[in-house]
Amino acid sequence: MTEQRGIGDGLCKAAITMQARQLLATVCILGGADCPLMEKEQAQEILDRVKQDPTLTIRLESNADEITHYEDLGPEYYLALDPEEVLNRKRDLDVLQKLGLVPGSIRRARYLYELLFTRVETPDGICAYDTPGWEGCPLARTGAYESVRAQGWQAVVYARSDQEIAEYRRRNVERIMNGDRLYIRPHHLMCLACWYAGGKGQGPRPNDTIYEALQRIQREPEVPIVLVEGCCEVCDCCDGFNPATGRCVHAGGLIRDYKKDLDVLQKLGLMPGATVPARELFDLLFERIESTTEICGYGDDIVMSQEWTICSGPGGNSGYVATRETGVF
């Protein structure tokens, strides 16, 4: 079978594996430091890859949880102990703790470096200390990491140009306005309703073509809508959409949106690929789903982790309620 774009490159398959501390090291090396935590050639290979593909999956590892019971280690272990290995384990766990991850976690490149720059301001206090015997790396205080962080994640990972985004928006609008049907992921119907808010939402949105899809739906209430999983045609002009892979790179690929899609499909009693006229589809949506809490709040409005945050926050989006009352036609 011919391999298709994006097929088989999910979050369970790591394209790159590194020790958690080495995520910091790649930045320090990019900033000009001769970091001892990683070979320069290895770091450069990783940097070259993420600069081309922000969707690359990276697995962060640590052997800290491999340390067993002291009786199993024996006195020989402690006699041969390398202090640098101990410090490395602490570095790994410090990085993972600040990122809210655990050993073995896999995330896409853009998500990891965005999160790293948000949560870790400096390697000082991770890679180096004033404590005797724990001095660590003197390069942690040279500003190499901070100089790259000041430029933002775009200094490390591929970012779409304004020109490319504009061209994709042009194509996007053309397809939405003139295609024989619309291809929309289910939860985006709810995004449309939240934004429309009973008629208040008028005008194009900066990061998608939901407004243009609404225009087509209002102009042609019987236009067929095909419900799809994954990125759909309103996503193509988003800064977080990667055309080369067809993947979303916002917040690790917004894995929560995949759940939202399936939750909406379940509530509607439909399957991916179902094709329904727009008016009939919105009637069904508003009949079966009363509040965004049911979908975007996972039914209980409890945030389990960074990856499972709730769009607009707990409590439900009043915009959806308003549009549910008025409809979109």
CB 252 within 8 A of CB 310: no
Give CA–CA dist 255/187, Å, rounded: 13
CB 113 within 8 A of CB 54: no
- In order, the DSSP letters of 22-69 are HHHHHHHHHTT---TTS-HHHHHHHHHHHHH-TT-EEEEE--GGG---
- In order, the DSSP letters of 103-168 are TT-EEEHHHHHHHHHHH-S-SBTTTB-SSTT--B-GGGGSSHHHHHHTT-GGGTS----HHHHHHH
Using alpha carbons, select from 82, 205, 60 the residue that is nearest to residue 133.
Answer: 82
Question: Which secondary-structure segment (H or E) carries 16?
Answer: strand 16-19
- Give the start-to-end residue ranges of the domains of the chain: 16-155, 162-326
Give CA–CA dist 268/284, Å, rounded: 7
CA 67 to each of CA 70, 78, 85, 118, 281: distance values in angstroms, whole numbers, following the listed order: 8, 12, 12, 30, 56
pLDDT of res. 4 = 59
3-state secondary structure of 100: coil
pLDDT of res. 6 = 60
pLDDT of res. 74 = 82
Half-sphere exposure of 70 (CA within 13 A, CB side): 3
Kindly give the confidence (pLDDT) of every residue in the chain, 329 residues in length, as a single tens digit, with 9 standing for 90 and above. 334 566 677 888 999 999 999 999 999 999 999 999 999 999 999 999 999 999 999 999 999 888 888 888 888 877 777 888 999 999 999 999 999 999 999 999 999 999 999 999 999 999 999 999 899 999 999 999 999 999 999 999 999 999 999 999 999 999 999 999 999 999 999 999 999 998 888 889 989 999 999 999 999 999 999 999 989 999 999 999 999 988 888 876 688 999 999 999 999 999 999 999 999 999 999 999 999 999 999 999 999 988 899 988 889 999 999 999 999 99
Mention every residue, 6+ apart, whose C-beta is less than 8 A from residue 132.
Answer: none
Q: Compute the residue count for the chain.
A: 329
Using alpha carbons, select from 253, 270, 281 the residue that is nearest to residue 54.
Answer: 253
> What are the φ and ψ backbone dihedral angles of 58, each rounded to 5 degrees?
-120, 130
pLDDT of res. 1 = 31
Give CA–CA dist 205/212, Å, rounded: 9
CB 190 within 8 A of CB 295: yes
pLDDT of res. 75 = 83
pLDDT of res. 186 = 97
Give CA–CA dist 4/242, Å, rounded: 15
